[in-house]
Amino acid sequence: APLGITVQTAELTEAEETGTTFRENAYIKAKSACDETGLPCVADDSGLSIDYLNGEPGVYSARWAGGHDDADNNRKLVEKMKHVPQSERAAHFVSAIACVFPDGREIVVRGECPGVIIDAPRGGGGFGYDPYFLYEPLGKTFAEMTAEEKNAVSHRARAMERFAKEFAALTGITGK
């Protein structure tokens, strides 16, 4: 919106996320959509990365426990972290945003939000791992934050801010 661009969503063939990084999966989805539509297309890939677990669940965040079930994924999170000391619970949410243009130009950016994994869920908002992800500067989990608070600090907000700057620089579109 700040660039004065109308965004359209479309029912497209779902691209197979075969990448091993958020960046690769975001690019795969954007490239597939661009190839299918002939239009510049934007896609993202996001998830949780826990340092103690060597980056797990990573690109498998949505289906870490086997399906796309938040409750199952959170049960697995609690089980894997139950003996991990508080000092070793660093984690970060990651969002990679890719834009592919029909002429071959591309933008890929990354945003991260640092936090720690807590033992018990807090808050009723958000989705996924939000009740277990504590953003220490606010002393709140993502599930306890208002939409405005989360949008000010989240990995997606940080990636989108970078994306808007790179998009404007690449295209010359700077706003209304």
Out of 35, 44, 45, 70, the active site residue is 45
Cis amide bond preceding 57, omega within 30: yes
Specify the pLDDT at position 174.
84
SS3 of 123, please?
coil
- Quote the tokens at residue 96: 């990679």
CB 61 within 8 A of CB 87: no
CB 94 within 8 A of CB 22: yes
- The reply to whether 45 belongs to the active site is yes
- List the beta bridge partners of residue 45: 96
pLDDT in tens for each of the 176 residues of the chain? 777 888 889 899 999 999 999 999 999 999 999 999 999 999 999 999 999 999 999 999 999 999 889 999 999 999 999 999 999 999 999 999 999 999 999 999 999 999 999 999 999 999 999 999 999 999 999 999 999 999 999 999 999 999 999 999 999 988 76
For residue 155, which of 174, 132, 122, 133 has the smallest C-alpha distance? 133
Give this prediction's pTM.
0.93
